[in-house]
Structure 1
Amino acid sequence: MTVTADQNDAPRPTTHVHLRLLATSDLHMHLLPYDYHADAPSDAVGLSRVASLIAEARAEVPGALLLDNGDFLQGTPLGDHAAAQAASAGGHPMIGAMNALGYDAVTLGNHEFDFGLEVLEAALADARFPVVSANALRRRGAAPLEDVGLVLPRVILKRRLSDGAGHLHDIRIGVLGVLPPQVVHWDRERLEGRIEVRCMIDAARAHVAALCDEGADVVILLAHCGPSDRPVQAGMENALVPLAGIEGVDALVAGHVHRLIPGPHFTGLPGLDAEAGRVQGKPVVMPGIAGSHLGVLDLWLAPDAEGWRPAAAHTALRPIARRGAHGPEPLVEDAPEVVAEVAKAHAATLASMRRPIGRSEIALHSFTSFAAPCPVIHAINAAQRWYVTQALGPVAEPVLAAAAPFKTGGPSGAEAFTNIAAGTLSYRDLSALYPFPNTLRAIRVTGAELRDWLERAAAAFNRIVPGAANQALLNPAFPGYDFDVIAGIEWQLDLSCPALWSHDGLPLGPGPGRVRGLRHGGEAVEDDDRFIVATNSYRIGGTGLYAPLAEAEVVLSEQIQNREVLARYLAQKASFDGPVAECWRFAPMDGATVHFDSGRGVLHHLPGIRAEGGEAMEPAGLTTDGFQRLRLTI
């Protein structure tokens, strides 16, 4: 069902010109309706499906602009394959598909940099459309307009559009883009000393003014960020609200956080009316993730003494699928030009990822990562601890490992869970276990820092009333990929106490915290104890929930991806073995019942989860958006 929001449904004066903007964001290399991690078709994703919606929307309103808001080059094994083949004569499949669809402009997201500058520049070399970013820089100048950009900072696109009376007018549309400056920390080893990134707000303010001075009638900001309730500050990651407040910005495309606008997310956030598709009163769309939706933003422009100004706006999201009784049901067919463009790379990716790499004696799934011992985290941590122990040799401190589940449903949908059967493993399975090209790090921390690490992860949960029934377990704002579990220690979480930290790392006030009985080897962990923890480059990047980890001493920093660590572990050990370590559990809550949403495949695993010592857990029906709800007694 199309989600729409309209500021003014009244008939338009004949002097008005209709400008339509079509937007994608966070495609993450989902070019086809295919789930590479499951090695099966998926009707929930795919630019080839969005392309059919693009064709329909273009047919309705002549002269529409097609824009992308970033994070298009990374996210699937197809993206990994394309990065490995970056210098090949065939070109990058995503850029080829964008060329075929006639994109008018795109901006960069933070994940464009995950494979390094050489891969990014090789991919963009074949683009037949402008790539803009106002704050990704080769060299910072004294002021934003003096910066040397990595790509174009801004562009003016031209359209000849008719008004209601049939008269043609030349319209100049300014387009610029910005991305989170934290990318230089997240990808430090690839980018340090090679690029700089300016504050999004400062860069946008300067380049919006420049576009207006250059004669743009309308200014569109491709903001690769979401909204936030944090105070406005320089360098903030999710700056959508202050960006919309910049004078001269007429409409925005948002992304990065993988939610939907217009839609029910972000209710009550100051400056944002997400249901109405308005931020600071200006129209905005955020079209989800992986090609789930096409954003459609219509502007009606009225003439004035200086040119044109937006007089009314309409925002909408058009989905590629609807929820059915047995999963997503397609609403559109594939666009053949995208399928043809991707066919060769798709076939090569499937052949590569189906190669065997080892075995797992246990099923590797993330269905109950927030409520019971998680096999995915168990496997990742086993490999990380093994590798760091081998690399460092004898050390005085115990070696631990931290990992989070990457696929836990949430805004990505009811199919977004890891589910790998016991038996032979392929390279596809390693990609499903660890979908990001992070690199391994090991840091030295104290017992106090270890406790703080766990307290921050405990922000995943709502406060629970002991003995009360039917309470929501999970904080919906908390990203699943931030729920770190640290192997090699044991602890309990007392959810009767409030969290010490918000989902994005803001302090919530003093209190006893939630971590109880933190022990190593049966002994209580003291504040001045010291440990070495295997983790990844993204986690110690210096921003977000785990910002303090950037200050820790790095004792191992190798240019080896965490996924390759899994491969080497299997080459040495041959298999992932059980039982799954029960590192943590909830402190007793007088029989309180809570619920959380999982994938439907969880029902196959529930008996085994109970046998491993998890709390009493039972199915509680399907939600309207296709999740399997589970009820847990604590």
Structure 2
Amino acid sequence: MSSLTAPFILTRRSLMSGIAASSALIALHPFAARAAGNQAHLRIMETTDIHVNVFPYDYYADKPNDTMGLARTGSIIDSIRAEAGNSMLIDNGDVLQGSPMGDYIAYERGMKDGDKHPVISAMNTLGYEVGTLGNHEFNYGLDFMFKVLNGSNYPYVCANLTKGQLASDPKKDELFFKPYIIIEKQIKDGAGATSPVKIGFIGFVPPQIMVWDSKNLEGKAQTRDIVEAAKAWVPVMKEEGADIVIALSHSGIDGTGQKERMENASLYLAGVEGIDAIFTGHQHLVFPGPKDFVGIEGVDAKKGTLQGKPAVMAGFWGSHMGLIDLLLEKDGKSWKIVDFTSEARPIYHRDEAKKVVADVKDKPEIVAAAKAEHEATIAYVRRPVGKTSAPLYSYFALVADDPSVQIVSNAQTWYIKDMLKESQYKDLPVLSAAAPFKAGGRNGPDYYTDVPAGDIAIKNVSDLYLYPNTVQAVLITGAQVKNWLEMSAGMFNQVKPGSKDAALLNNAFPSYNFDVIDGVTYQIDLSQPARFDKDGKVTDDKVERIVDLKFDGKPIDPAQKFVVVSNNYRAGGGGNFPEIAADKVIFVAPDTNRDVIVRYIVSQGTINPSADANWSFKPIADTTAVFETGPKARQFAKDVKGAKIEDAGDGENGFAKFRLVL
């Protein structure tokens, strides 16, 4: 199979839904234009990682946002269908959590039997044929998930989520959902004749939901390795007559080698015999494309293939529509793929000034389906809960102790000390680990916490703590505290002494894994390489980036016991931090970190979020490094504690560049 590169052919006029009031020329896909009598063009369209972002509205910032929203993505479906000979629409998971609308429905309005969730009401207007589960579907519990999904007009499939212990044979697992579905689609061939083709869809969720949502799933569910489940079920699909097998993989692309129970297994899923195409997601990246996944063995980021098979990843929050176009040819009574193309089509672009320009408008049917809940969510997030004496922002959270992270640690410490005051751990020292969630990166130059001094509303608390994690605490040693920080220091590239404007940040390291531990003081020596790789394995046991680590003003005792409060993701092993796993957990809270922050602010009335500068970089003579952050950072640069920062001009894609003088 090969990717077709012939130019699109303009053949007909059609109204472009949601774009302009006037008619526009529709470019018919080459497969639809050239299909012979025994051939047919089939376009499969993907949405993924919508995260309840129905409207192009950033509730955290309380303002419209042209880079997001199913109302925008849905508006281009009519024109995308018009380009195709035949089409199908699927969703690849993570629809129920991720914006304040999700929290509003789950925590405020609730879901009674028969209620329609606004994101499902919106999706029901678009004609989806099938969907699969993402990991965030489980954040509010199984009962909530099933009440929501029961309102959909289309089925869900998932082949690796079981009701209990795994069977010896995956085909004997007791599953919550059908592992796959085979849809007999009537398609029109190049001669205009109609005949059926059997399209099989099989779905997968990351096995790590058992760690990330153990409070909701432990004792109720189990997960199987994605590739293992596929190898069991795909032959069954073929035996049942599926002409084409499509994998709906809520799992990203990781080229570091196949491992058991991989989180991002799509590349190796492509190696399963019988799978013809793969829809991916979970990583909030774009595939195919010029930036993400380039240079990985077995991945063609330009053509859009994984191990030679067509694949797509359609961004996040509705930013793109994923398209896989198949040229099918009838071989006797069955169909086979003879050519394909892959594309992630955006809903916006940036102009020469890097300003976001919307390419589409809202689809009225989607707006109508969720308008009441949208307005209720805006009212929900505007409720004040207290005041802050100083601004809360995350523009420098990756380079200096930061007020947005500090307030999270203050709240966590306040909470856990109260929870443990009558326990066997009451006399142990308490530390708090917190990371910046909104720190720019691939989410853009506006993706930062920015709360002015004064009233704090619920929307601001959501801004401070993006996810509805629950509080957990672990019991570890001083040596494990140091290794926790060593792992966190993977956020930075190694900087050779004497370097001028070296790149500071390791862009492959997610900001939510850059934990700052409050209650100790320390420095990070950037002249040293990272001690751990991204999987938490020691790369060199002789290197140390964390230096001058002290507790209570004295060098930390490697054997001393500490209670460290964090969240269920980290305490359960999320992020592969060395020796931090469920067996270290001593406290599992019924409360989310967000709720704890709200309670803390209410209890204090007015909070003081000033960072205490408990960490910094070790000085390196005649050395500077550069990093990018949001342009609004310029007004706060003079207030940063523990670091000397200089404005270094404009960065790329709307970011501002700053220099760190080491």
* Fold match (TM-score > 0.5): yes
Cα distance change on mapping 1:294 and 1:346 into 2, 3 Å? same
Match of 1:471 among 488, 495, 502: 502
- Which residue is equivalent to 2:356? 328
- Which residue is equivalent to 2:379? 351
Per-residue displacement from partner, 1:46-96 (whole Å, max 9, x unpaired)?
A: 010001122210121143111111111100100111223342454101111
CA distance in 2, matches of 1:593, 1:16: 61
Corresponding residue SS for 2:246: strand
Deviation at 1:543, TM superposition (A): 4.3
- Which residue is equivalent to 2:546? 515
- Which residue is equivalent to 1:37? 60
Which structure 2 residues correspond to residues 423-572 of structure 1 after superposition, within 5 A?
423-546=454-577, 548-572=579-603
For structure 2, the 5+ residue unaligned runs are: 7-29
- Which residue is equivalent to 2:94? 71
Which structure 2 residues correspond to residues 19-38 of structure 1 after superposition, within 5 A?
19-38=42-61
- The amino acid across from 1:548 in the alignment is E
Per-residue displacement from partner, 1:380-410 (whole Å, max 9, x unpaired)?
A: 0000001111221273321110011111122
1:279 aligns with 2:306: yes
Q: Which stretch has the larger CA shift, 269-278 or 187-196?
A: 269-278
Corresponding residue SS for 2:581: helix
- The amino acid across from 2:649 in the alignment is A
Match of 1:255 among 276, 281, 286: 281
Kept in 2, the 8 Å contact 1:135–1:153? The answer is: yes
Match of 1:382 among 397, 400, 410: 410
- Which residue is equivalent to 1:147? 173
- Which residue is equivalent to 1:620? 649
Corresponding residue SS for 1:91: coil
Q: Which stretch has the larger CA shift, 135-144 or 542-551?
A: 542-551
1:367 aligns with 2:404: no
Corresponding residue SS for 2:463: helix
Corresponding residue SS for 2:235: helix
Which structure 2 residues correspond to residues 278-317 of structure 1 after superposition, within 5 A?
278-305=305-332, 307-317=334-344
Which structure 2 residues correspond to residues 115-154 of structure 1 after superposition, within 5 A?
115-139=140-164, 140-154=166-180
Cα distance change on mapping 1:506 and 1:161 into 2, 3 Å? farther
Deviation at 1:13, TM superposition (A): 5.2
CA distance in 1, matches of 2:2, 2:627: 34
Kept in 2, the 8 Å contact 1:541–1:547? The answer is: no
Kept in 2, the 8 Å contact 1:73–1:79? The answer is: yes
The two structures, once aligned, show a CA RMSD in angstroms of 1.7
- Which residue is equivalent to 1:55? 78
- The amino acid across from 1:602 in the alignment is A
CA distance in 2, matches of 1:230, 1:510: 22
- Which residue is equivalent to 2:210? 184
Q: Which stretch has the larger CA shift, 490-499 or 304-313?
A: 304-313
CA distance in 2, matches of 1:479, 1:578: 24
CA distance in 1, matches of 2:325, 2:599: 52
- Which residue is equivalent to 2:266? 240
Per-residue displacement from partner, 1:583-622 (whole Å, max 9, x unpaired)?
A: 211111223222222122212222222xx33222314213
CA distance in 2, matches of 1:523, 1:322: 53
Q: Which stretch has the larger CA shift, 305-314 or 423-432?
A: 305-314
Q: Which stretch has the larger CA shift, 452-461 or 148-157?
A: 148-157
Identity %: 39
Per-residue displacement from partner, 1:182-210 (whole Å, max 9, x unpaired)?
A: 10111111110111111111111222111
Match of 1:8 among 4, 9, 34: 4
- Which residue is equivalent to 2:227? 201
1:157 aligns with 2:157: no
Corresponding residue SS for 1:149: coil
CA distance in 1, matches of 2:622, 2:342: 46
- The amino acid across from 1:129 in the alignment is Y
Corresponding residue SS for 1:66: strand
Cα distance change on mapping 1:547 and 1:496 into 2, 3 Å? closer
Kept in 2, the 8 Å contact 1:445–1:552? The answer is: no
Per-residue displacement from partner, 1:398-443 (whole Å, max 9, x unpaired)?
A: 1110011111122222222111111100011111111211111121
Kept in 1, the 8 Å contact 2:571–2:584? The answer is: no
Kept in 2, the 8 Å contact 1:63–1:159? The answer is: no
- The amino acid across from 1:300 in the alignment is L
CA distance in 1, matches of 2:295, 2:82: 36
Kept in 2, the 8 Å contact 1:178–1:223? The answer is: yes
Kept in 2, the 8 Å contact 1:217–1:309? The answer is: yes
Match of 1:421 among 445, 452, 455: 452
CA distance in 1, matches of 2:576, 2:462: 25
Q: Tell me the TM-score normalised to structure 2 length.
A: 0.92
CA distance in 2, matches of 1:151, 1:518: 50
- The amino acid across from 1:444 in the alignment is L
Kept in 2, the 8 Å contact 1:20–1:298? The answer is: yes
Cα distance change on mapping 1:543 and 1:38 into 2, 3 Å? closer
Deviation at 1:165, TM superposition (A): 2.5
Corresponding residue SS for 1:508: coil
1:629 aligns with 2:657: yes
Corresponding residue SS for 2:232: helix
Kept in 2, the 8 Å contact 1:456–1:505? The answer is: yes
Deviation at 1:301, TM superposition (A): 1.1
Match of 1:169 among 166, 191, 195: 195
CA distance in 2, matches of 1:276, 1:341: 37
CA distance in 1, matches of 2:64, 2:479: 46
Corresponding residue SS for 1:169: strand
For structure 1, the 5+ residue unaligned runs are: none
Cα distance change on mapping 1:483 and 1:306 into 2, 3 Å? farther
- The amino acid across from 1:178 in the alignment is F
- The amino acid across from 1:613 in the alignment is G
Deviation at 1:504, TM superposition (A): 3.8
Kept in 1, the 8 Å contact 2:487–2:578? The answer is: no
Deviation at 1:305, TM superposition (A): 4.4
Deviation at 1:570, TM superposition (A): 1.2
Corresponding residue SS for 1:101: coil
CA distance in 2, matches of 1:191, 1:107: 18
CA distance in 2, matches of 1:589, 1:266: 34
- The amino acid across from 2:304 in the alignment is G
- Which residue is equivalent to 2:620? 589
Deviation at 1:306, TM superposition (A): 6.0
Kept in 2, the 8 Å contact 1:618–1:632? The answer is: no
Corresponding residue SS for 1:544: coil
Deviation at 1:551, TM superposition (A): 4.9
- Which residue is equivalent to 1:397? 428
Kept in 2, the 8 Å contact 1:367–1:598? The answer is: yes
- The amino acid across from 2:194 in the alignment is L
Corresponding residue SS for 1:189: helix
- The amino acid across from 1:217 in the alignment is D
CA distance in 2, matches of 1:270, 1:360: 50
CA distance in 1, matches of 2:419, 2:252: 39
Kept in 2, the 8 Å contact 1:73–1:112? The answer is: yes
Per-residue displacement from partner, 1:337-365 (whole Å, max 9, x unpaired)?
A: 11111101111111111111011112111
- Which residue is equivalent to 1:608? 639
1:81 aligns with 2:77: no
Residues paired across the two proteins, number: 627
- The amino acid across from 1:344 in the alignment is A
Deviation at 1:546, TM superposition (A): 2.0
Kept in 1, the 8 Å contact 2:40–2:85? The answer is: no
